[in-house]
Structure 1
């Protein structure tokens, strides 16, 4: 019987090439890491990405909102619904939400958006702050006591600085700290007088010391400007840094 000779090249071609599973495993791991990072980024950006404008009626919130988004002064009137718009900073954008200032509706809308807020802009009327300080401090204390706001940075914007009777940042800060101290005492005494184990006293600041914004764990800043005159550079810079 004749013997068939197989050439080495032909013999090698019939053998299967071994699969390098290590390369496949590395590719799978890299792909998984990329997906995890992507979903974490999307989750964070979707849960805390909006900015809330709030404050009392006639503080000038809607003017500030319109100037930031459209560079114009709107026809102002008491609103019972929120204003929602897109704020742009270069290639970045975010939602800006103007909450109605009327006490009958503002809590409803604030509760609707507070869990998606990355920053809260609390607008103060610098002209009428002495007259309104009790209401301003009471509302501000309520906001800062809300656990949903703890992760947010808070900017107290002293509006209407273009007017002659406007109070300075330092005066407004001092007035608010003094009144916030009174609000804290009042709320603490009321809650402690209620025989209900489910009621928890929300105490802002340091126990045994007068209230100061510097005693809070949150990042709280004071800026001044004028919505009417579109003097909002400090405010827009703050939003840009937060985005």
Structure 2
């Protein structure tokens, strides 16, 4: 029994056995302190975590979503807000208070484009 456990541990375990040479190579590269490889691994982890987080957020079914319009002063945020709500062009002026409203999205999609 002990010999089977020691063989399994020598092979890298039952899960990582096929990837053990790659893991050993990665471990050696990381121990050398190569900043390029460390940067690539960090970027890969950041992308993977972002994808997992995005999938988690997309999996939640919520009937309401919030949209925040941000930009520089006099860049047209209020005009865009009014155009989204009414569909019309209106003269606007610098807003002093927050603007908020419920916007219903038309969910009809055109197929075949």
Q: TM-score, normalised by structure 2?
A: 0.36
Q: TM-score, normalised by structure 1?
A: 0.18
CA radius of gyration, larger in: 1
Specify which structure has the bigger relative contact order, considering alpha-carbon pairs within 8 angstroms and separated by 6 or more residues: 1
More helix by share: 2
